[in-house]
Amino acid sequence: MEKLQVQRRKRLVLVPYPLQGHINPMLDLASILHSKGFSITIAHTKFNSPNPANHPDFIFLPIQDGIPNLDVSPPNLVDLASAINTNCKEPFRECISQLMHQEQRHQVVCIIYDFLMHFAETVANQLNIPSIILRTSNATTLLAFRTIPQLREEGYHSLQDSTSYDLVPGLHPLRFKDLPVSSMGSLDNFLQLLAVVCNTRTSSAIIWNTMDCLENSSLARLQEQYHVPFFPIGPMHKMAPAESSKLFKDENNCFEWLEKQAPNSVLYVSFGSIAKLDEKELTEMAWGLTNSYQPFLWVIRPDLVSGSEAFLPEGFQELTRERACLVRWAPQKDILAHPAVGAFWSHCGWNSTLESICESVPMICKPYFADQKVNARYLTHEWGVGIELGDVMQRTEIAKAIRSILVEKEGMQMRQKAIALKEQIEQCMKDGGSSYNSLDKLVQFISSL
Ligand code: UDP
């Protein structure tokens, strides 16, 4: 108790990147560190700001970001990151300087920032505050990021949107088509961003939302290249005591529907918070789901279809009414934990990937951009818990994949592997497990700063 009180005088400032898939793990980390006795300030952009009411124990510090309400989609992501880093630096410096003056009983001991919020490192360094990076995607993606400039120098020019099935030298099992570079706008701009985010600069450690049992070899290779300690403490949503923040409103009526379904019978379908489809893809999805004859819970975000409202094909709702539940946003972690859910058709964002394997739910993988392709490749070829869909959505292939994963032998075998993977992850989190130990070391490390 006394230790917690001493610790409580130590304030950590956490700086999330303002997209759902980045906010969730940062707020989970905040809850984990709060439970270890630290005081928490979340310094966040006004754009996509988290809801302070969900976290009464934290102080929220809005930073002016100068970001208009832009359409967040893959080709804009590099520009968004660069605008945030340019616009937020000065306002952040002012906020932290003020905080340091006000906080007499509490000392700002460390700034922990999302790897995309690198302006926070510059400010921390100017103010003589130690900083730590949080990597919200997996370790293998960083290995791939570090390889991309090298490949380009070696003469591989069409890295973006490559359709090549050839394996990337040194990155087995990744193929050129899996490199986390497609759909990210201009390659030159992307390479500039990579040069910054692959570098630790003056930061003194890296926290990872991953675990040894999943990515032991990638973590070991990276540790040889980085001369700062690594703290892989994932899966953070399971290590954290509290709920993380949601930018959208959950629709809990889907639980009533789930309660009526048989165990392992439902396909949960969601493409995360920013992936977008075109109308043709939506139509193929709708008919694939219809022709599978399996129950499904489908998240259709209002902005899921680029440039227009999502129009479902005529006849779809009548044909599937008996076995479909459609929502605009879902309490995903609880859904994946529901016994009725038998498989997850996903875009393979890293959070979705972790949330699914932590509940031993096998996946149908339809990645779109950035690290999603790396995650999909690992799900299908390294961990054996996913079915890969082709690049073009086709109703026949979709229906076949859904039946395979829900009712055929292939799906049963994947579920067995997913159960084994879940058990390994649980071992990592237990007293003496790798994530548990890393968290202990992280707390000691921060306390010694
Ligand atoms: N999510 C959710 N409800 C939905 C869709 C997504 O709660 O209907 C959450 C999901 O649980 C995950 C996050 O949003 O924690 C999405 O992160 P991910 O890395 O999977 O994908 P991104 O949105 O970054 O592409």
Mean pLDDT score, 402-410? 98
With a cut of 60, say whether residue 69 has pLDDT above it.
Answer: yes
pLDDT digits (tens, 9 = 90+) for 228-239: 999 999 999 999
Tell me, yes or no, whether 375 and 435 share the same domain. no
Q: What percent of the chain has pLDDT over 70?
A: 94
Q: How far is CA 429 from CA 12, 32, 37, 213, 381, in A?
A: 23, 13, 19, 11, 24
| Confidence tier at 3 by pLDDT (50, 70, 90) | low
Residues 9 and 115 reside in one and the same domain: yes
Using a 6 Å cutoff on CB, does residue 209 contact ligand 1?
no
Judge if the beta carbon of residue 356 lies within 6 A of ligand 1: no
Q: Are residues 293 and 172 in the same domain?
A: no
Residues 26 and 116 occupy one common structural domain? yes
Tokens representing 347 are 């875009």
Tell me the average pLDDT across 387-407.
Answer: 97
For residue 22, which atom of ligand 1 is closest to its CA? 24
Region 155-166: mean pLDDT is: 82
- Claim to verify: residue 311 and residue 439 sit in the same structural domain: no
- C-alpha distances (whole Å) from 35 to each of 3, 118, 208, 238, 374 are 12, 26, 18, 13, 32
Cβ proximity of 160 and 194 under 8 Å: no
Contact in structure between 349 and 21 (CB atoms under 8 Å): yes
295 and 222, same structural domain?
A: no
Q: Do 115 and 201 fall within a single domain?
A: yes
Q: What's the burial of 209, exposed, middle or buried (CB within 10 Å: 0-12/13-18/19+)?
A: buried
Same domain, 49 and 170: yes
**For the chain, what is the mean pLDDT?**
93
* pLDDT at residue number 68: 77
Q: Between β-strands 59-63 and 107-114, what pairing exists: parallel, antiparallel or unpaired? A: unpaired
Segments of 234-371 assigned E as strands: 266-270, 296-299, 324-327, 341-346, 363-365
Specify whether 239 is located in the same domain as 313: no
Kindly provide the b/e burial profile for residues 319-328, where b requires at least 16 CB atoms within 10 angstroms of the residue's own CB.
ebeebbbbbe
Q: Is 20 in the pocket of ligand 1 (CB under 6 A)?
A: yes
Label residue 448 by pLDDT band (50, 70, 90). Answer: very high
Confidence band of 75 (pLDDT split at 50, 70, 90): confident
| Residue 251 CB contacts under 8 Å (≥ 6 apart), including other chains | 327, 328, 329, 330
**Rounded CA separation 67/57 (Å):** 28
Residues 276 and 239 in one domain: no
When divided into structural domains, the chain yields a total of 2
Of the ranges 153-157, 189-193, 416-420, the best mean pLDDT one? 416-420
pLDDT in tens, 24-49: 999 999 999 999 999 999 999 999 99
**pLDDT at 262 (0 to 100):** 98
Name the residue with the closest Cα to ligand 1, atom 5: 272
What would the mean pLDDT of 273-277 be, rounded to a whole number? 93
For a ligand 1 pocket test, name from 209, 271, 352 the mutation site with the most ligand atoms within 8 angstroms of its C-beta. Answer: 352
Contact 145, 180 (CB under 8 A): yes
The alpha carbon of 447 and the centre of ligand 1 are apart by a number of angstroms equal to: 32
For residue 231, give the CATH number of its domain.
3.40.50.2000
Co-location of 194 and 313 in the same domain? no
Together in a domain, 314 and 226: no
For residue 249, pLDDT beyond 70: no
Range of the domain at 285: 254-426
